[in-house]
Structures are given as structure tokens and as C-alpha cells.
Structure 1
Amino acid sequence: MNNSFEKYQKRRLRSSYFSVIISIALVLFLVGLFGLIVIKTNSISKHFKEQVAITVFLKDNAKKSDIEILEAELKNAEYTKSVVYVSKNEAAEKYSEDLGENFLEFLGENPLKNAIDVTLKSEFVTPEKMTEIESNMNIRSIVDEVVFDKPLIEILTKNINRLSFWMLLFSGIFTLIAVVLINSSIRLSVYSKRFTLKTMQMVGATKGFIRVPFILKSIQLGVLGAIVAIAALAGFIFYLHKTIPELDLLTDYKLMAILGVGIILLGILITWLSTFFATRRFLNLRTEELYY
């Protein structure tokens, strides 16, 4: 009889632990999925920003040595991602290809200018910084004109800032929801053992002594839940990468590793705090209050 009861209790305990792990895994999976969206949003905005270029048109009388010096300075500048020199002849050939006919035959001469296309790093693609770069270029004696799409930069910066704000807001709300849901699961798990807690306290065990094994067990469940969540998230990422390779989800392993570590740490932190406060609450209750 006792053996049957012990087996029943063990099954109930395993079932309880399994439910907690699944609950934690589901919540952390959703948190990880949202984190992935945030990461890819930043990557996508960075990608679009780094497609923006400043075109520096050069004067016809500019010496080759002066052009090479300017190119070298631009390549070493902190804001530069890449520098491409485009001669007026190359520009004419490309323009003719786009038109589908040789426009030089009508004009008799090449009206285009030699130019340097400067692609900027994403953090410098703002109206203020690009205007500053434009001003620094215009003072050069060999520079005829500096051109970039100011309206496009203003719209791009405004929309990215707005998107970043809302993503940050939703991240905070979603993390709060995750904390509440995992906290509820842990509290229910501790609630089922409230009589055990009180019995240990009544026989003289200190609150710290009682609390430690419960916290360690909860942390273990949190880690297991996080591992399940990471495995599910990895499977989902591989599926998306195979289905929609344009999303380019598997290029930044460092960020993915940070996301995985973040999920594990979040699982540990929430389960630790939830168990600490739940055990403290039940240990502070009187015996007759445990029935309510």
C-alpha cells in the first residue's frame, strides 16, 4: 500500500515538474521569438541604411594625385564603409545601358563628371551627420558638388526611430508578461508543497534552509525549460531559413548565441525570484491559513 502511494506521489511530482518545464519553455520560446524579431529588425534597418551613399562629384581639372589623396582620406574616415571611384566614362557607359542607347552620339561630348561614391556605416546615416560630411567635402578645392537624397534619409531615420521605440515598448511589455506567467507556474508548484514547507518549519528548520532546495529545483526546471525553448526556437529558425532564405537568419551566430544565453539567464532569474518570494509567502503564513 505504501509503495503504491509512493509511486503515485512520484508520478504526480514528475507530472507537476513536466507541466512547469513546458510552461516555462512555451513562455521563453515566445520571448526568444520576439527577441529574434528585434535582432532582425536592427539588422534589416542597418542593411537599408548601409545602402545609402554620398556621391562626391569632382571638378574636371582635378589632378589624379589629388583625387587619390581624397580617396585615401575617405577610406580611412570613421564614417566610411566603402569607397568606389567612378570615372565620367564609366558613368556614361552605365547611363547608356540604362537608356538603351548611346546618348553621347546626340550630345557630342560627355557632360558627366568623375565621382566618388561613399557608402556610410549605418550609425552615420542621419540627416545631421550626413549634412556635416557634406559640408566637410564641399570645402575641398577639387570637389564640385556633394549629393545625397536628403528627403529619403529624413524619412528613413524617422521611420526607424519610430519602429525602434515601438519594438522597445513591446519588448518590455512582453518580458513583463513572461515574468507573470512563469511566476504563476512556479507559485502553483510551490503551493502544492505548502504543507511540506510548514512541516519542515515546525520541526525547527530555518527559512533559509527550507528555501534553498526549492530554489535550486526551480532553477533546474528553469534551465530545462530554457533548453527546450532554445531547441524549439532553433528548429523554427532553421525552418524559416529553409522556407524563406531571403531573411538571412543564420548569418550572425554571435547574436544567436547571445539570444540563447539570454533565454537561459532569463529562465534562471525568473524561477529564482518567483520561488524565493513564493516560499517566503507560505513560510510566513499561519498553519490554518494554508487551507485557503
Structure 2
Amino acid sequence: MSREKRIKKKKLGSYPFVSVVFSVTLALFVMGLFGILLLLTNNLSKIIQENVEVQVFLNKNLSTNERTKIIKTLSVKDYVVRKDGEAQVQLITKEQAAKQFAKETGEDFVAFLGDNPLRDVVTVKISPEFHQEENLSEIKKEIQFIRGVYEVSYMQTLINSINKNVQKIGLVLVGFAILLLLIVVILIHNTIKLALFSQRFLIRSMQLVGATARFIRSPFLNRAIGFGLIAGFISIVLLAGVIHYADAQIEGLLSLVKLEQLGILSATLLVIGAMVGFFSTFAAMKKYMKMSLDELY
């Protein structure tokens, strides 16, 4: 009687739910964590690069209109960083610079010298795609030809160092991402393959009674996609909890990641879970359906 119940309970396409979903969820969760790390690193690198400045020192005794004209000329250049449609060009007058120096050092050199030897400066933030040395050199030459500009300065060594470090970090992270993706795919594939191992005799029984390959595969493939989507959803919920906790511990962490990026990452996890589940199940089914009876044992 008990044997008959066990046979009845074993349906086509059914295999361990908890173990498969747990394994796939764990794999996708780890991949999601790395994806968040990748986004944080990429966005932080972009912020650092977008804060690279070129300092444009102006001639003395320029009128307000002349300074405004220089700022407008620089603001329309395609190499200037724009945020919310506004060019990141800022004027720092010599009076502002003197006050800032006095505040930081506690010494009022203007009172001591009786004059302010500083110059008005326009800071221009340069887009990352123009950070190559030849591009910056051309930008410097172009700005120097603007009427009213005394000198153009930027820290080439620092910019080169930033570019090299960003490239190195990018290559390392991409390498890890590819390796992690391979590990996740292999882990999910092996998990599903082992889960289907218990169904091998049922698959053979269906073949013996004349069921088509498509009829046999369909329940398993549908179940695999469902398991992948469930695991993806659970991993997304876990990631949301981790992000919320991390943001509570590190103020402003979420500001480094855009909501649309998190949305794309979440969708990617769902797609990976469903696709890897589908193709792994398809490959395992194909293997078991071609096995001889001796190989099944």
C-alpha cells in the first residue's frame, strides 16, 4: 500500500523543490551581490573621473561681462561635464579664494600684504571620455586662445593615475564577473542534473509507452523555469534587505546606485535563473533520454 502511494506521488516533472530553489537562490544571490559591487565601483569611478578639473586663470581687471562671456564660451563645449543639463563650470573670484585660504589656514595674507595677488579662476569639469593626455592637451590649447584667459592648468599625473587605476579595476572586475557567471551556471546545472537523477526511470517508462520527447520534456522545462523565477525573486528580496542594511550602516550608499540600474540587475537575475534552469534541464533530459538501461542503473 505504501509503495503504491509513493508511486502515485511521483509525477512527471516533479523533483525536489526546496533543495533546487535553495541552491539556485544562493547562486543568484552571490551573483547579485557581485553585481551590486560592480555597479558601486563603476559609479564611484565615474564620479571620481567627472570631478577631474581644468583650472582656467583669468587676466586681472576683467569686467563682469568679460568673465561672463568666458564662462558662457566654456559652458557650450562638448568636453564639459553636464549634470541635469547644466554645464559644470564655476567661477571662483580672487576674493572668494582669499577668504577660503584664510579660513583654512587662519592667516589673512591680504591684510598682511595690503593687496590680493590671486586671480579669478574658472574651474571646468572634464568628461571622462576626454581624459586622454592628447585630448587634455588640445583642450588646454583651445582654452588658452580664449580672450581674457591668462593660464590653463590641470594635474596630468593625477589624471593619468586615475585612468590607469580605473582600467585595472575594470579589467579585474570583468574577469571576476565572467568567472562567477561560469561558476553560477555550473552550480545550477549540476543541481538540476542531480535533481533529475531521481526521475530517470520515470522518463524511461514514458519513453517505453510511446510518449514523445516534447511531451516528456515539457513538464520538466516548465517546472525548471518556475523554479528559476522563484529563486530569482527570493534572491532579489534578500539583496534588497542587504542593500537596506548596508545603507543604514553607510550613509549615502544608495545614492551611488541608480534605481534603474537595480531594476536591470533584478531583471537580469530573473532571466539568468529562468534561462539557466531551462537549458540545464534540457541538457540533462537529453542525456537521460539517450541513456541505455544499463547506464540508468
C-alpha change, 1:242 and 1:250, in structure 2 (3 Å) is: farther
Query: Does residue 248 of structure 2 align to residue 242 of structure 1?
Result: yes
Which of 282, 288, 292 is the equivalent residue of 1:286?
292
**2:53–2:124: 8 Å Cα contact kept in structure 1?**
yes
Gaps of 5+ in 2: 82-87
1:136 maps to a residue whose letter is: E
C-alpha change, 1:200 and 1:221, in structure 2 (3 Å) is: same
Query: Does residue 53 of structure 2 align to residue 47 of structure 1?
Result: no
Q: Which residue of 1 aligns with 2:152?
A: 146
Q: Which residue of 2 aligns with 1:38?
A: 38
Q: Which residue of 1 aligns with 2:208?
A: 202
Q: Take 1:46 and 1:227, find their aligned partners in 2: how far apart are those partners?
A: 30
Secondary structure at 1:110 match in 2? coil
Which of 83, 91, 104 is the equivalent residue of 2:110?
104
Segment of structure 1 superposing worse, 54-63 or 41-50 = 54-63
Segment of structure 1 superposing worse, 167-176 or 57-66 = 57-66
Aligned-pair distance for 1:270? 0.6
Query: Does residue 251 of structure 2 align to residue 263 of structure 1?
Result: no
Q: Take 2:36 and 2:3, find their aligned partners in 1: how far apart are those partners?
A: 48
1:150-187 CA-to-partner distances (Å, cap 9, x unmatched) read 11111111111000000000000000000000000110
Q: Which residue of 2 aligns with 1:252?
A: 258
C-alpha change, 1:249 and 1:16, in structure 2 (3 Å) is: farther
Q: Take 1:109 and 1:176, find their aligned partners in 2: how far apart are those partners?
A: 67
Secondary structure at 2:116 match in 1? coil
Q: Take 1:61 and 1:41, find their aligned partners in 2: how far apart are those partners?
A: 44
Secondary structure at 1:80 match in 2? coil
TM-score normalised by structure 2 residue count: 0.90
Q: Take 1:68 and 1:24, find their aligned partners in 2: how far apart are those partners?
A: 60
Q: Take 2:171 and 2:118, find their aligned partners in 1: how far apart are those partners?
A: 43
Q: How does 1:57-96 map to 2 (within 5 A)?
A: 57-81=57-81, 82-96=88-102
1:247 maps to a residue whose letter is: L
2:34 maps to a residue whose letter is: F
Aligned-pair distance for 1:70? 2.1
Give every structure 1 segment of 4 or more consecutive aligned residues whose post-TM-superposition deviation is greater than 4 Å.
Answer: 7-11
Aligned-pair distance for 1:208? 2.0
Aligned-pair distance for 1:251? 5.1
Q: Take 1:233 and 1:250, find their aligned partners in 2: how far apart are those partners?
A: 16
2:36 maps to a residue whose letter is: L
Identity %: 32
**2:43–2:257: 8 Å Cα contact kept in structure 1?**
no
**1:241–1:249: 8 Å Cα contact kept in structure 2?**
no
Which of 212, 218, 222 is the equivalent residue of 1:216?
222
**1:237–1:249: 8 Å Cα contact kept in structure 2?**
no
Q: Take 2:34 and 2:8, find their aligned partners in 1: how far apart are those partners?
A: 39
C-alpha change, 1:64 and 1:245, in structure 2 (3 Å) is: closer
Q: Which residue of 2 aligns with 1:179?
A: 185
**2:40–2:256: 8 Å Cα contact kept in structure 1?**
no
Considering only aligned residues, what root-mean-square deviation do their CA atoms show, in Å? 2.2
1:28-64 CA-to-partner distances (Å, cap 9, x unmatched) read 0000000000000011111222222111011125444
1:102-142 CA-to-partner distances (Å, cap 9, x unmatched) read 11233232211111111233443443433332121112232
